[in-house]
A and B are shown apart, each in its own frame.
Chain A
Amino acid sequence: SAVISQKPSRDICQRGTSLTIQCQVDSQVTMMFWYRQQPGQSLTLIATANQGSEATYESGFVIDKFPISRPNLTFSTLTVSNMSPEDSSIYLCSGSWDTEAFFGQGTRLTVV
């Protein structure tokens, strides 16, 4: 198994500002992903964080809004840019190998 640490664990932000969420894995992982989870709903994949290159975004998510970095095999960041109240959600980082995938504790973001 692996330990995935995310920070901040929660934040309250003003609309129009940006927040960067950090994800640190305690061992090297093959793949890293970012998900969003609205209250009472399941997880929606935002993007795959690729080491040393641009992230691969799912339909409905764009780099200008959610820039992602992954400088090495154990660390990634997700920025939520120009925030609006609709961005209020839980953002989860995930790391995976062949047969297992683990999640960080999530970042609970509230935009006011």
Chain B
Amino acid sequence: GQNIDQPTEMTATEGAIVQINCTYQTSGFNGLFWYQQHAGEAPTFLSYNVLDGLEEKGRFSSFLSRSKGYSYLLLKELQMKDSASYLCAVRELNQAGTALIFGKGTTLSVSS
């Protein structure tokens, strides 16, 4: 089974930095993904971590600690368009191979 936790809501102001945490408990861990989803749209891939450490991609960075079952998504120089839901997803091994299991998502509101 799996259990993925992330905060329900966060708020921040333009230009700031925000860190969205995700903790997970799962068997057969095979990588962690972060997605951004604007209302009414499909999720958009942001990052993938399978080894411990920090992956940086422009204004977005993602960190993973497998021993702690912990990841975070760091967003720098926040912009209004970053207001969205951020989904942490763990890929785990299952009967069919692997599958992405999603957390409930964190709704980020960026204000001016």
Contacts and interface: CB of A to CB of B under 8 A. Distances in A.
A48 B97 contact: yes
Contacts, number: 57
Given A56-B95, A101-B45, A103-B43, A94 B100 contact: yes
A95 to B, nearest CB: 11
A29 interface: no
Contacts of B70: none
A30 B30 CA distance: 15
B97 A45 contact: no
B3 interface: no
A96 B42 contact: no
Interface string A88-112: 0000101010011111111000000
Interface of A: 1, 30-31, 33, 35, 41-45, 48, 50, 55-56, 58, 92, 94, 96, 99-106
28 contacts: A1-B45, A30-B97, A31-B98, A31-B99, A33-B99, A41-B104, A42-B102, A42-B103, A42-B104, A43-B43, A43-B89, A44-B102, A45-B99, A48-B99, A55-B96, A56-B94, A56-B95, A56-B96, A58-B99, A96-B100, A99-B31, A99-B48, A100-B45, A101-B91, A102-B45, A103-B44, A105-B41, A105-B42
